[in-house]
């Protein structure tokens, strides 16, 4: 599904990703953890196609296509979805109109007819129920005046609507209350079908209680320095990152 | 040269005019105009606005009306409204297109020329009292050589059920034309009125419109005033609008400038009583070599008044926009609340904006804020939309439309907003 080879990226001359290697197979859930400033959001932004970051080396292929060559919209229409760490507020653009445009643009790209208005509304209502999204929220401007938790829930609601093949969640759990955390996890688990894959960036084990990862990676200084199974997250929760940092330093010295 | 034509026009007018108060007023105005001359970029208020392309040209006043204006009128958004219509071509009333549906006989909706005969007392009481000619060359010129215009009188306590549409067409099919419409709107105590002032143009020659609108709002009156400028072709316009507000009045004004070669809007509010609300909203969408200048002035002359001003621009091509927003808080205008914002989005490297807020505050207990921005579309918003599969051009349009509709929606006639939004959409 996703194959990242030796990916290097920088912003304003500052090296942030220093050779990332990661393979995500269909149906897998990968968790990425790591200290603040390690480059997790940068990795997700590069994968989604944000132009501010200059890719300085490496390759990314997505279902056989060169992802780095594609525009952000084409990546989305091929099935990549990024749930943003900080979703932007867009006044004047209604959530409904935005989603209808997004879905129909994707369908057009895939050679499908646009969704009928009634079918769309029915589909949207289903997903709103799933995410327990209040009607008042979707009738408002996109994210405008939403609370932090509501914005995050809206990201997952959009994911549910767009049914991506690969979802990258950038700290979607941060700022969520316990109930919202359950909802978000349910949204993800509902979408799991053995084909769709997830890359879940998080600082906390608690999300991984609900969305159980097949692999856990630690990103530090722009590199994946350790990988393991779900137990690695528990170990990190208990011990923090110091021991990993120490390991990295030691390796560098030898 | 325009000046020579104008001098001839005035001599001709004088030779036919009846003597009396009105003539004396106009002679004085012409003397003031001759003293001042056309504004040049040496005047502080006209620093960015060069009228040379107008003053070096010739324009003629004409009363001839062609049938093709009917088509233009009938094809317009405004003509679809349930409303009272006063239609002017090159400043002259077109009877067959004008239509008054107001049933209350105490409410007057007519041409200015008719009102001067039929409503002399009211006319003399208000005409020229609010839009000053002293030091205002273009107002002086309009007063001296006004063509015709709209007259609306709403007596105490009345509500005008449907909007009054003042529909102006510049027809430059044969020659360069000059029109100097003059509107007088008198809304007495506790009245409600909606005005739609709209400008179109046709023809391959140039047109110059120099218009003055005076509105008097009596105590507790509510006036909605929408100005829509979409003159295609080579069209110059100087537009002066003065509101004079007594206590407890509410005025909601929206200016949409969607086309025009050179448009200079002067929008003035004078709050002559307490508890007034003045809302000033504007949107300009410019392209090619268009030039749009919005000069606004709000005089907070009395305490406890509120003004909110928001002007937004979208600039394409080699176009230029000017915004100058003056807020004068007079000495005894305590507890004034005044807000002002000017935002601009430049879609081309060749477009220019000059924006200047001007706050002059003489009272000490006031709340005033202002801000101006000039920039491109928000990168983060663009990326967010694109990351959901919306292509770049569509994402841009979604954002621009949202940005523009924020102003268009201040117009409280849903049918008009809907059609205008389609129009704005087309321009983006
Ligand atoms: N626009 C920018 N200009 C300069 N430095 C930047 C910019 N964006 C990110 N960085 C830097 O890149 C590094 C990685 O940032 P990134 O947001 O990817 O970290 P992160 O792992 O997501 O951290 P967190 O856990 O706090 O979200 C940080 O040191 C950050 O300051
Ligand atoms: Mg981050």
Chain A partners within 8 Å of B343 (Cβ): none
Element (H, E) at A38: none
Ligand nearest to the CA of A37: 1
Q: For residue A73, give the nearest of B389, B401, B405 by CB distance.
A: B389
Closest protein CA for atom 31 of ligand 1: A37
Partners of B384 on chain A (C-beta within 8 Å) are 84, 87-88, 90
Q: Check A72 against B381: CB less than 8 A apart.
A: no
Give the residue with greater pLDDT, B9 vs A138.
Answer: B9
Name the fold adopted by A2-253.
Answer: Rossmann fold (3.40.50)
Contact status of A73 with chain B (Cβ, < 8 Å): yes
Q: How far is the CA of A38 from the centre of ligand 2 (A)?
A: 8
Using CA positions, which residue lies closest to atom 11 of ligand 1?
Answer: A37
* Percent of chain B residues past pLDDT 70, beyond the cut: 100
In tens, the pLDDT along B147-206 reads 899 999 999 999 999 999 999 999 999 999 999 999 999 999 999 999 999 999 999 999
Note whether A87 contacts B406, CB cutoff 8 Å: no
Lowest mean per-residue pLDDT among A135-149, A202-216, B87-101, B104-118: A135-149
Pair B258, B424: CB distance under 8 Å: yes
What pLDDT, on a 0 to 100 scale, did the predictor assign at position A35? 93
Cβ pair B306, B250 in contact under 8 A: no
Using the beta-carbon criterion (under 8 Å), do A102 and B390 form an inter-chain contact?
yes
- Answer with the residue of higher pLDDT: B213 or A137: B213
Q: What is the mean pLDDT of chain B?
A: 95
Question: What's residue A8's pLDDT?
Answer: 96
Q: For residues B221 and B158, give the distance between their C-alpha atoms in angstroms, rounded to a whole number.
A: 10
Q: How far apart are CA B314 and CA B374, in angstroms?
A: 10
Contacts of residue A92 in chain B, CB cutoff 8 Å? 401-403, 405-406
> Residue with structure tokens 């317009």?
B76
In angstroms, the CA B249 to CA B273 distance is: 8
Which is nearest to B347 in space by CA: B240, B252, B427? B427
Q: Which residues in chain B have their CB less than 8 angstroms from residue A75's CB? A: 387
Across chain A, mean pLDDT equals 93
B230-252 residue pLDDT tens? 999 999 999 999 999 999 999 99
User: Residue range B66-74: average pLDDT?
Assistant: 87
Pairing of strands A29-33, B164-171: unpaired
**What is residue B111's predicted lDDT score, i.e. its pLDDT?**
98
Q: How far is the CA of A80 from the centre of ligand 2 (A)?
A: 18
- Ligand 1 within 6 A of A42 CB? yes
Distance CA B195, CA B193 (A): 7
Confidence of residue B398 (pLDDT cuts 50, 70, 90): very high
- CA gap B49, B394 in Å, rounded: 34
Q: Which pLDDT belongs to residue A21? A: 96
Helix B21-36 / helix B2-16 crossing angle, nearest 10 deg: 160
Across the interface, of B379, B386, B402, the residue whose CB is closest to A91 is B402
pTM of the complete model beyond 0.90: no
State mean pLDDT over A140-167. Answer: 93
Residue B427 confidence (pLDDT): 82
Q: How confident is the model at residue B66 (pLDDT cuts 50, 70, 90)?
A: confident
Question: Is A154 close to ligand 1, i.e. is its CB under 6 Å away?
Answer: no
Chain A residues whose CB is inside 8 A of the B394 CB are: 101, 105
A253 pLDDT higher than 90:
no
Verify whether the Cβ–Cβ distance B394 to A105 is below 8 Å: yes
Distance between Cα A36 and ligand 2 center (Å): 7
pLDDT band at B283, cuts 50/70/90?
very high
Query: How far is it, in rounded angstroms, from Cα B280 to Cα B258?
Result: 17
Helix (H) or strand (E) holding A165: none
Specify the length of chain A in residues: 254
**How much is the average pLDDT of A157-177?**
94
* Residue A14 beta carbon below 6 angstroms from any ligand 1 atom: yes
Nearest CA in chain A to B393: A73
Please tell me if residue A93 touches chain B, with a CB cutoff of 8 Å: yes
A73, A77, A96, A144, best to mutate vs chain B, most B CBs in 10 Å: A73
Q: Is A49 on the interface with B (CB under 8 A)?
A: yes
Closest-CA distance, A162 to chain B, in angstroms, reads: 8
ipTM score of complex? 0.96
For residue A164, give the DSSP letter: -
Q: B164: which strand partners? A: B84, B195
Ligand 1 centroid from CA A11, angstroms: 9
| Chain-chain contact of A50 with B398 (C-beta, under 8 angstroms) | no
B237 bridge partner residues: B209, B263
Q: How far is the CA of A116 from the centre of ligand 1 (A)?
A: 42
Q: Locate B87 and state its tokens.
A: 């239609």
Q: Domain locations in chain A?
A: 2-253
d(Cα B233, Cα B243) in Å, to the nearest integer?
30
Q: What is the pLDDT of residue B340?
A: 97
Pocket test for ligand 1, best of A32, A39, A43 (most atoms within 8 A of CB): A39
Q: Are B111 and B151 in contact (CB under 8 A)?
A: yes
Task: Select the residue of B387, B402, B403 nearest A82 (Cβ to Cβ).
Answer: B387
Instruction: Decide if pLDDT at A130 tops 90.
Output: no
Model pLDDT for residues A51-73, shown as the tens digit of each residue: 999 999 999 999 999 999 999 99
Mean pLDDT (whole number) for B279-292: 97
Give the strand order in the sheet containing A65-66: A14-24, A2-11, A54-62, A65-66
Provide long-range contacts, Cβ within 8 A and 24+ apart, for A184-188. A184/A131, A184/A152, A184/A153, A184/A156, A185/A210, A185/A211, A186/A130, A186/A210, A187/A130, A187/A131, A187/A156, A187/A157, A187/A159, A187/A160, A188/A156, A188/A159
pLDDT number for residue B378: 92
**Nearest CB to A92; choose among B388, B392, B406:** B406
- Cβ–Cβ pairs < 8 A, chains A and B: 74
**Residue A91: what pLDDT?**
92
Kindly write down the DSSP assignment for every residue of A5-22, as one continuous string. EEEEEEETTEEEEEEEEE
pLDDT of residue A132: 85
pLDDT, position B222: 98
* Contacts of residue B27, Cβ cutoff 8 Å, sequence gap at least 6: B14, B144
A139 touches chain B (CB under 8 A): no
In contact, B38 and B51? CB cutoff 8 Å? yes
Mean pLDDT, to the nearest integer, of A101-105?
Answer: 96
| Phi, psi of A35, deg, nearest 5 | -65, 165
Closest ligand to Cα A85: 2
pLDDT interval class at B68 (50, 70, 90): confident
In ligand 1, which atom is closest to the CA atom of A42?
18
Confidence band, pLDDT 50/70/90 cuts, at residue B350 = very high
Residues in chain B with CB shorter than 8 Å from the CB of A109 are: 389
DSSP letter assigned to residue A133: -
Cα angle value A94/A132/A169 (rounded, 5°): 75
Question: Would you call A51 and B391 a contact, using CB atoms and an 8 Å cutoff?
Answer: no
């Amino acid at each position: 599904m996703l194959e990242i080879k030796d990916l290097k990226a920088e912003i304003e001359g500052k090296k942030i990703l220093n050779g990332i290697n990661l393979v995500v197979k269909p149906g897998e859930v990968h968790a990425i953890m790591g200290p603040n400033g390690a480059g997790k959001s940068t990795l997700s932004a590069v994968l989604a196609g944000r132009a501010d970051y200059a890719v300085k080396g490496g390759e990314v292929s997505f279902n056989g296509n060169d992802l780095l060559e594609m525009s952000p919209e084409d990546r989305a229409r091929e099935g990549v979805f990024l749930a943003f760490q900080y979703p932007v507020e867009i006044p004047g653009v209604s959530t409904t109109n935005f989603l209808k445009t997004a879905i129909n643009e994707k369908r057009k790209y895939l050679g499908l007819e646009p969704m009928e208005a009634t079918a769309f509304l029915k589909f949207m209502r289903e997903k709103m129920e799933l995410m327990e999204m209040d009607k008042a929220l979707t009738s408002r401007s996109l994210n405008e005046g939403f609370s932090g938790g509501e914005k995050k829930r809206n990201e997952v609601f959009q994911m549910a609507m767009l049914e991506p093949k690969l979802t990258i969640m950038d700290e979607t759990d941060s700022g969520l209350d316990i109930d919202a955390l359950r909802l978000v996890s349910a949204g993800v688990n509902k979408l799991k079908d053995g084909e769709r894959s997830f890359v879940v960036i998080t600082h906390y084990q608690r999300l991984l209680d609900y969305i159980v990862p097949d692999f856990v990676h630690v990103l530090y200084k722009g590199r994946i320095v350790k990988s393991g199974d779900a137990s690695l997250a528990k170990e990190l929760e208990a011990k923090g990152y110091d021991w990993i940092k120490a390991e990295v330093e030691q390796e560098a010295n030898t | 040269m325009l000046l020579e034509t104008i001098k001839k026009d005035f001599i001709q007018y004088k030779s036919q005019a009846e003597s009396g108060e009105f003539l004396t007023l106009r002679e004085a105005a012409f003397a003031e105009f001759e003293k001042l001359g056309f504004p040049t970029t040496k005047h502080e208020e006209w620093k960015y606005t060069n009228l040379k392309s107008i003053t070096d040209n010739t324009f003629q006043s004409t009363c001839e009306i062609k049938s093709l204006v009917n088509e233009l009128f009938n094809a317009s958004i405004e003509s679809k409204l349930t409303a009272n219509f006063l239609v002017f071509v090159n400043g002259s009333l077109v009877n067959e297109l004008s239509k008054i549906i107001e049933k209350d006989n105490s409410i007057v909706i007519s041409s200015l020329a008719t009102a001067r005969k039929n409503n002399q007392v009211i006319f003399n009481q208000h005409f020229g009292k609010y839009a000053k000619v002293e030091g205002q060359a273009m107002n002086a010129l309009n007063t001296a050589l006004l063509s015709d215009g709209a007259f609306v009188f709403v007596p105490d306590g009345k509500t005008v059920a449907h909007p009054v549409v003042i529909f102006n067409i510049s027809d430059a099919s044969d020659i360069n034309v000059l029109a100097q419409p003059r509107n007088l709107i008198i809304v007495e105590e506790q009245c409600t009125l909606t005005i739609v002032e709209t400008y179109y143009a046709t023809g391959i020659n140039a047109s110059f419109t120099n218009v003055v609108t005076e509105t008097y709002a009596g105590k507790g009156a509510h006036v909605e005033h929408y100005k829509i400028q979409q003159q295609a072709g080579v069209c110059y316009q100087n537009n002066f609008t003065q509101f004079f507000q007594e206590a407890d009045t509410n005025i909601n004004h929206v200016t949409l400038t969607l086309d025009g070669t050179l448009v200079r809007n002067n929008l003035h509010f004078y709050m002559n009583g307490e508890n007034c609300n003045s809302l000033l909203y504007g949107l300009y969408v410019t392209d090619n070599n268009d030039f749009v200048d919005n000069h606004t002035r709000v005089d907070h002359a009395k305490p406890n008044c509120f003004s909110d001003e928001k002007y937004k621009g979208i600039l394409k091509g080699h176009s230029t926009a000017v915004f100058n927003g003056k807020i004068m808080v007079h000495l005894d205008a305590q507890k004034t609340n005044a807000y002002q914002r000017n935002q601009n989005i430049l879609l081309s490297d060749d477009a220019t904006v000059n924006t200047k807020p001007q706050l002059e505050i003489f009272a000490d207990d006031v709340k005033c804020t202002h801000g101006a921005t000039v920039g491109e579309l928000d990168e983060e918003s663009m990326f967010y939309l694109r990351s959901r599969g919306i292509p770049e051009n569509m994402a841009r349009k979604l954002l621009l439309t949202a940005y523009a509709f924020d102003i268009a929606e201040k117009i409280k006639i849903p049918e008009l907003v809907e059609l205008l939004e389609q129009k704005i959409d087309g321009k983006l």
